Amino acid sequence: MNQAIGIVWNPSKVAEEELRQAVDAAVTDAASTAEVRWFETTKEDPGQGATAAAIAAGCSLIVAAGGDGTVRAVAEALGGSGAPAAELGILPLGTGNLLARNLDVPLGDIEAAFSRVLTNSARPLDLGSVRLSFADGSEETHSFVVMVGFGIDAHMIVETDDELKAKAGWLAYVESLGRAATETEVVEFSLTLDDGEAAPEQAHTLLIANCGTIQGGMTLVPDAQPDDGELDLLVLRADGASDWLDTMRNMVWDNGLKRLLTGADRAESSETTEHLRARTVRVELPHPHAFEVDGDDFEDVAAFEVRILPSALRVR
């Protein structure tokens, strides 16, 4: 029996004819007998519903064709229960393409990316889950595959100009970084790791990662591995020019060149930069903050809880 492949695609990212031609070419080159079925996303359904429809139609491999939002929606539908409902493939068509970068999926070449999906074996992939509590008392739960957090990263996403992003791609995030830095302040918050006690913390940025690489190939969280069953945290406390120099030294030297030279297997912390690890993370903020989930921004978040679902996905 031929395998049925469901392609959940975002029509705002690529022309249908271009996508179909690339997929057909990859199928022909691989001499595959797979049956390809198509499921289009909408503004109302970024991918969860389309993925459910693909599974109901008998597809055992679901390919997310779109940006980070599409990949996150498909991953949530496939692994939100903690066990994979079908295998996941990725055709990166967005600006950040964060998971694709971390898994070395070819960028800018749909045919090459789909050839990978057709010919590679599936491997386990952890899935993160975050429950957001908002200032108005409401709550939402979302899945993620790369990272979540508040601070410079979240402000950078909020501050990024959509028109510039469409024209300049990931460089638009660099343009927004300076404006984000001026709006990011050191705050006191409560941090609880796993079954430990809540501890007071001071920082302007907290990132909780399943994968560590972001736009431009920059690795922010070097210990993060997408299949180790753990979350890796980056806490940034820099407040002033000298502090930022320490942060940059830690990122570029301690956890960059020095790590390559010495072969260190764990990230090194400094006065302004701390690397932590946990399976569950709980945070209560003193006042509402912008928060990002795999590149999507959420406003007025007052508290959140993050946990990891080990091997909840299987990815080609």
The predicted pLDDT at position 173 comes to 41
> Residue 157: pLDDT above 80?
no
> pLDDT per residue over 10-31, tens digit each?
999 999 999 999 999 999 998 8
Residues 190 and 293 in one domain: yes
Residue 178 pLDDT greater than 50, yes or no:
no
Give the integer Cα–Cα distance in Å for 248 and 243.
Answer: 9
Q: Is the pLDDT of residue 103 over 70?
A: yes
Q: Which pLDDT tens digit goes with each residue over 55-98?
A: 999 999 999 999 999 999 999 999 998 999 999 999 999 988 98
Side chain identity at 281, as an amino acid letter?
V
pLDDT, residue 186, reads 84
- The answer to whether 286 and 297 have CB atoms below 8 angstroms apart is no
Same domain assignment for residues 196 and 292? yes
Cα–Cα distance for residue pair 20/40, rounded to 1 Å: 13
304 forms bridges with which residues in the sheet?
132, 283
Looking at per-residue pLDDT, the higher value among 213 and 313 belongs to 313
- Cα–Cα distance measured from residue 46 to residue 21, given in angstroms and rounded to the nearest whole number: 23
Q: Are 309 and 231 in contact (CB under 8 A)?
A: no
Whether 113 and 152 map to the same domain: the answer is: no
pLDDT at 179 over 50: no
User: Which domain, by its residues, includes 216?
Assistant: 127-315
* Alpha-carbon span 14 to 18, nearest angstrom: 7
Indicate the residue among 97, 120, 143 that finishes a domain: 120
User: 264-277 pLDDT, tens per residue?
Assistant: 888 999 998 999 99
The reply to whether 111 and 256 lie within a common domain is no
Same-domain status, 194 and 99: no
User: What's the CA gap between 119 and 61, in Å, rounded?
Assistant: 12
Answer yes or no: pTM beyond 0.75.
Answer: yes
How far, in Å, are 142, 152, 169, 247 from residue 174 at the CA level?
A: 26, 12, 10, 18
The per-residue pLDDT for 153 is 63
Residue type, 97: N
Provide mean pLDDT across the span 244-259.
80
Domain end position, chosen among 120, 138, 155: 120
The structural domain count of the chain equals 2
Answer yes or no: are the C-beta atoms of 89 and 30 closer than 8 Å. Answer: no
* 216 band by pLDDT with thresholds 50, 70 and 90: low
For residues 173 and 165, give the distance between their C-alpha atoms in angstroms, rounded to a whole number: 8
CB-based burial label for 141 (10 Å; 0-12, 13-18, 19+)? exposed
**41 and 154 belong to one structural domain:** no
Whether residues 271 and 173 share a domain: the answer is yes
Domain end call among 98, 120, 142 = 120
Confidence of residue 240 (pLDDT cuts 50, 70, 90): confident
